[in-house]
Structure 1
Amino acid sequence: MGELTLDQDSAGGIFKVVVGDTITLTLRENPTTGFRWQLEPRPSQLLAPEGAHFTVGPHPGVGSGGVRTWRFRAITPGPVVVDARLGRAWEGEAAAIERFSVSLDISPADPSVDER
């Protein structure tokens, strides 16, 4: 099983993974100002969430940022899009200041089997 690591530079990309692979998504954010990443909608039944956390940057303090990290495991073959938006939850979707999207093509663990 492999691991795919994605960040802001991965936006717009199309990535191939295999059932059983781990996908780690890390995006910079500054929750002290209210700006947080929200996955929209939550990734489908093709990906199983394995946790999320925020890590403060190297210079913690008021107004400092860090990175939000999500981990998923590919559990079912098929195409899936992971979308996220950066904004203040109380301002609604239209007020997003940044968007992130990647496409994943999940293949069966055994390439001789097509489970789609």
Structure 2
Amino acid sequence: MHATLRLLTLPALALLSACAHQSGTLELKKDRQCPLTLNKGQQLILSLPSNPTTGFRWEVRDGAANVLQSLGPEVYSNPEDAGLVGAGGISTWRFTAREAGEGRLLLTYQQPWEPNVPPAQTFECELRVK
């Protein structure tokens, strides 16, 4: 099952214009936006629903290191209106398209102590940087 992604703040029109510009930031709304073409220097923000209180974590299996540069570790945040202990939140990763070429961004959502159990969710996106 593929994860549903959440659009953070950009309206749909801004998403389209971000794809057309050399620089700027692109925020994925869902994996159905893939395959994805980025321009060299463009930033990519990936946000996936997450709930670490269940023991499940997203793990980057393939970070497309040949075309993307990670801008830091995963950042987890709770929605401001959740107010419930154990409520889910959002895991976010930031990348910069650093080299022209093709790559794959692959993340799995599973409990780290059960590596042989199939992941509960996966996110996979083929990327092209020009």
How high is the TM-score relative to the length of structure 1?
0.83
Offset at 1:5? 0.9
> Is 1:71 aligned with 2:71?
no
Structure 2: segments with no counterpart, 5+ residues: 1-22
Deviations 1:49-107 (A, max 9, x none): 11230011231432211000000001100001100011101111533101110111100
Q: Secondary structure, in 3 states, of the residue corresponding to 2:117?
A: helix
Q: Quick one: percent identity of the two aligned structures?
A: 28
Partner of 1:16: 37
TM-score, normalised via structure 2 length: 0.74
Please say if residues 11 and 101 of structure 1, whose CA atoms lie closer than 8 Å, have aligned partners that are also in contact: no
RMSD: 1.6
**Aligned residue type for 2:117:** A
Question: Does 1:32 find its partner at 2:53?
Answer: yes
| In the alignment, structure 1 residue 101 sits paired with structure 2 residue 91 | no
Name the structure where strand makes up a greater proportion of residues.
1
Partners of 1:103 and 1:20 in 2: CA distance: 18
CA distance in 2 between counterparts of 1:41 and 1:82 reads: 5
Aligned to 1:41, the other structure's residue is in SS state strand
Matches of 2:50 and 2:116 in 1, distance apart?
16
Q: Identify which of 20, 41, 55 aligns with 2:77.
A: 55
- 1:113 alignment counterpart: none
After TM superposition, the runs of 4+ consecutive aligned structure 1 residues lying more than 4 A away are: none
Counterpart of 1:69, as a letter, is: T
Q: What CA distance in whole angstroms lies between the structure 2 residues aligned with 1:34 and 1:16?
A: 33
Aligned residues: 106
Letter in structure 2 aligned against 1:18:
N
Q: Give the distance between the partners of 1:84 and 1:93, measured in 2 at CA.
A: 15
Q: Is the 8 A contact 1:11 1:100 kept in 2?
A: no
Q: Which amino acid aligns with 2:61?
A: E
Query: Residue type of the partner of 2:51?
Result: N
Structure 2 CA distance for aligned equivalents of residues 93 and 78 of structure 1: 32
Equivalents in 1 of 2:115, 2:83: separation in Å?
28
